[in-house]
């Protein structure tokens, strides 16, 4: 029996331009078994079939569409989309050389596979099953990936990985060696969505003569890239575990003498002498601090307070990278936080996001979660 998700009369226009998520407030009734292993049918209030999707009946997003229209996807749609996602990365040139061996292979809705993330780290893969429908397909995913994976496959079901002995993921990024903790760890590992932005920040630091300061440095990506470009770099993070990997990564690339790391709260006083500046580049990369629209104003205020402490440490002509990994904190909010931080003159010179291995389904505004605004200080 096919499960049917019936929309309310006032659910709004549903189509590709509205994105693939159907929210609980749009649903009038769900008919049939709460079957997450099979596709559910979406119908409007007149019983017209609008599409097919993955069911999570008790969630705020009870249906994530995989296809619009009255015809269901082909029986082998799931395997075909997995193969297509991997082929798309090969089409981007990823995996062709040993220069960069870490990248995203499946990006959820962006690859037509809602709730599934697959990241490649050299010979290993990290798989995140974010919704019940993907957990139900876990065996099929592993069956597809195992013959294509020389190393290990680490699986995260939901938001966190189960308890397991610590393993390490080894990879190269733009010619540099890195390692990060494998699950259970921070999401899927090394924030691959910032990969190309790390190289850009390093080039900006080299142009200014540095040094670079990265707040929220995790395993040291921005710091190591900047040091490799010839400038001194300082990383700050609250996690001792992350900093141990950051120091290891600096040493692995023979960059210990050009790097320093500070354990502290990026929203705190920042009174360590290593943070005094002036810096040619500052990266402000906080964790997700607004999980919903109601937390947006509070998040902007917190960022403004921190930026108020950072802006005086940026040299004239220097660059500030302000990052948001929350869909609810957009580019305009980053602008507002900077404007509230003080009277210094800034202009925005770049508006960045993830690389092309993080595709977004057109119309799925929630899929565009990472914003990186690059500002240049131009005091008059």
DSSP-derived 3-state class of residue 350: strand
CA-closest candidate to residue 279, choices 212, 224, 222: 212
Cis peptide before 60 (omega within 30 of 0): no
Q: Smallest Cα–Cα separation from 132: which of 68, 43, 40?
A: 40
Find out whether 132 and 58 touch, Cβ atoms under 8 Å: no
Cα–Cα distance for residue pair 11/341, rounded to 1 Å? 40
What is the DSSP secondary-structure string of 266-295? TTS----GGG---EEEEEE------SSGGG
Half-sphere exposure of 101 (CA within 13 A, CB side): 17
* Phi, psi for residue 336 in degrees, rounded to 5: -65, -40
Helix, strand, coil share of the chain (percent; to 5): 30, 30, 40
Cα 353 → chain centroid: 9
- Please say if 325 is a catalytic residue: yes
Helix, coil or strand: residue 80: helix
Please give, one letter per residue, the 3-state secondary structure of 159-225. Answer: CECCCCCCCEEEEEECCEEEEEECCCCCCCCCCHHHHHHHHHHHHHHHHHCCCEEEECCCCCHHHHH
- Cα–Cα distance, 213 to 19 (Å, whole number): 38
User: Which H helix or E strand runs over 118?
Assistant: strand 116-121
What separation, in Å, do the N-terminal and C-terminal C-alpha atoms of the chain show? 70
In this structure, the number of other CB atoms found within 10 A of the CB of residue 355 comes to: 18
- Catalytic positions are 325
């Amino acid at each position: 029996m096919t499960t049917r998700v019936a929309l309310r009369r006032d659910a709004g226009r549903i189509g590709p331009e509205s994105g693939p998520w159907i929210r609980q407030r749009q649903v009038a009734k769900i008919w049939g078994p709460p079957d997450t292993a099979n596709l559910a049918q979406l119908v409007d209030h007149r019983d017209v079939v609008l599409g097919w999707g993955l069911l999570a009946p008790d969630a705020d997003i009870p249906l994530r569409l995989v296809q619009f229209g009255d015809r269901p996807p082909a029986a082998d749609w799931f395997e075909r989309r997995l193969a297509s996602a991997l082929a798309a990365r090969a089409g981007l040139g990823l995996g062709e050389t040993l220069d960069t061996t870490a990248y995203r292979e499946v990006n959820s809705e962006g690859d037509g596979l809602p709730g599934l993330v697959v990241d490649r780290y050299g010979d290993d893969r990290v798989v995140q099953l974010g919704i019940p429908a993907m957990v139900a397909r876990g065996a099929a995913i592993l069956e597809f990936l195992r013959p294509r994976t020389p190393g290990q496959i680490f699986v995260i079901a939901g938001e966190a990985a189960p308890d397991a002995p610590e393993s390490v993921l080894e990879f190269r990024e733009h010619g540099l060696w890195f390692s990060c903790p494998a699950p259970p760890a921070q999401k899927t590992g090394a924030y691959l969505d910032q990969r190309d932005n790390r190289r850009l920040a390093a080039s900006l630091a080299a142009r200014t003569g540095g040094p670079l300061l990265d707040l929220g440095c995790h395993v040291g990506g921005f710091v190591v890239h900047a040091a490799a470009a010839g400038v001194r770099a300082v990383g700050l993070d609250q996690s001792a575990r992350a900093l141990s990997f950051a120091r290891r990564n600096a040493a692995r690339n023979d960059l210990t003498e050009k790097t320093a790391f500070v354990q502290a709260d990026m929203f705190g006083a920042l009174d360590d002498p290593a943070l005094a500046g002036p810096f040619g580049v500052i990266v402000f990369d906080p964790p997700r601090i607004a999980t919903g629209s109601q937390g947006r104003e509070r998040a902007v205020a917190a960022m403004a307070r921190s930026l108020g402490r950072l802006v005086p440490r940026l040299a004239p002509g220097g660059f500030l990278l302000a990052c948001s990994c929350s869909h609810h904190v957009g580019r305009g909010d980053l602008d507002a936080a900077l404007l509230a931080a003080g009277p210094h003159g800034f202009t925005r010179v770049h508006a960045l996001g993830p690389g092309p291995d993080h595709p977004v389904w057109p119309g799925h505004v929630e899929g565009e979660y990472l914003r990186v605004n690059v500002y240049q200080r131009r005091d008059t």
